[in-house]
Structure 1
Amino acid sequence: MASPLTFPVKSKQFVTSIQGLKTEVVQFSYDDHIMSQILAFAFEIAVTQIGKMGTLLHARKEEGYGTGPTFNISILMGKRDEPLMMACARQLIEKMSKTGCSRPLILSLGLADHSAETLKDIIEVVVENKIW
């Protein structure tokens, strides 16, 4: 008799305060290779202070021949005039890469406060509670 399959998605959800605002964080890690290919991403983080998805960013590490890695960040949906959001996604994918994780990242930021301090705190909270 075959063993029962386990659901291939690990998740972590918590609420914290960032710069005095209630902030909900949900992380999903897709371990199943087929699911990763179908969904075209393997790691997802949603951070919201407004109860909505907000801006959706895609970040991935690209390996070059004879050079160090490069990181490609793009905005899939939402605010395109917030360079700090792109910096947040870049820092998260770089931190993931340094721990050996090479999976792409989908980052959803629904923020009431777009300050550098808020985004720095978000990076810190996500890394402290990482599931990759």
Structure 2
Amino acid sequence: MGNKTDIVISKYEDSFLVIVTQIGCMGTILAAKKDESVFSDPTYNVSVLFGKRNEPLLLACARQLIEHISGSGSTRSLMISLGLKDHSQGTLKDIVSTIIENCLW
């Protein structure tokens, strides 16, 4: 990541809040959760609550994180804010790796 990037990870009773910023404030806010069904494999629901809706890499970032959270046995949902100058695939990959290395789940 060429830009200074601040990351905050907070754990709550039923969710995680992750704030990633290169702009000094919150950016696009996404919600992600695992939907389980008795009859099929789990699915993951990721939606943009506020901000850029035409950035598929932001959705992919949130999806990777909720899959990792669920895969580690947690049932918490994820709220993530991505305030980025650089939306490249490499930057988002670095962000996901850093969050997973410092995870609270």
- TM-score scaled by length of structure 1: 0.77
Query: Equivalent residue of 2:85, what SS?
Result: coil
Which letter does structure 2 place at the counterpart of 1:28? S
Q: Which has the larger radius of gyration?
A: 1
For residue 66 of structure 1, report the CA deviation from its aligned partner. Answer: 2.1
The one of 52, 71, 81 equivalent to 2:54 is 81
Which residue, out of 120, 129, 132, partners 2:93?
A: 120
Counterpart Cα distance in 2 of 1:101 and 1:44? 14
Query: Which residue of 1 is the match for residue 2 of structure 2?
Result: 20
Between the aligned residues of both structures, percent identity stands at: 53
Q: What's the Cα RMSD here?
A: 0.8
1:77 Cα deviation after fit: 0.1
How many pairs align?
Answer: 105
After TM superposition, list the pairs within 5 Å mapping 1:1-132 onto structure 2: 19-31=1-13, 36=14, 42-132=15-105
Q: Could you say what secondary structure the match of 2:98 adopts?
A: helix
Distance (whole Å) between structure 2 residues aligned to residue 116 and residue 20 of structure 1: 13
Which structure 2 segments of 5+ residues have no match? Answer: none
| Residue segments in structure 1 that go unaligned for 5+ positions in a row | 1-18, 37-41
SS at match of 1:64: coil
CA distance in 2, matches of 1:67, 1:123: 27
- One-letter identity of the residue aligned with 1:113: D
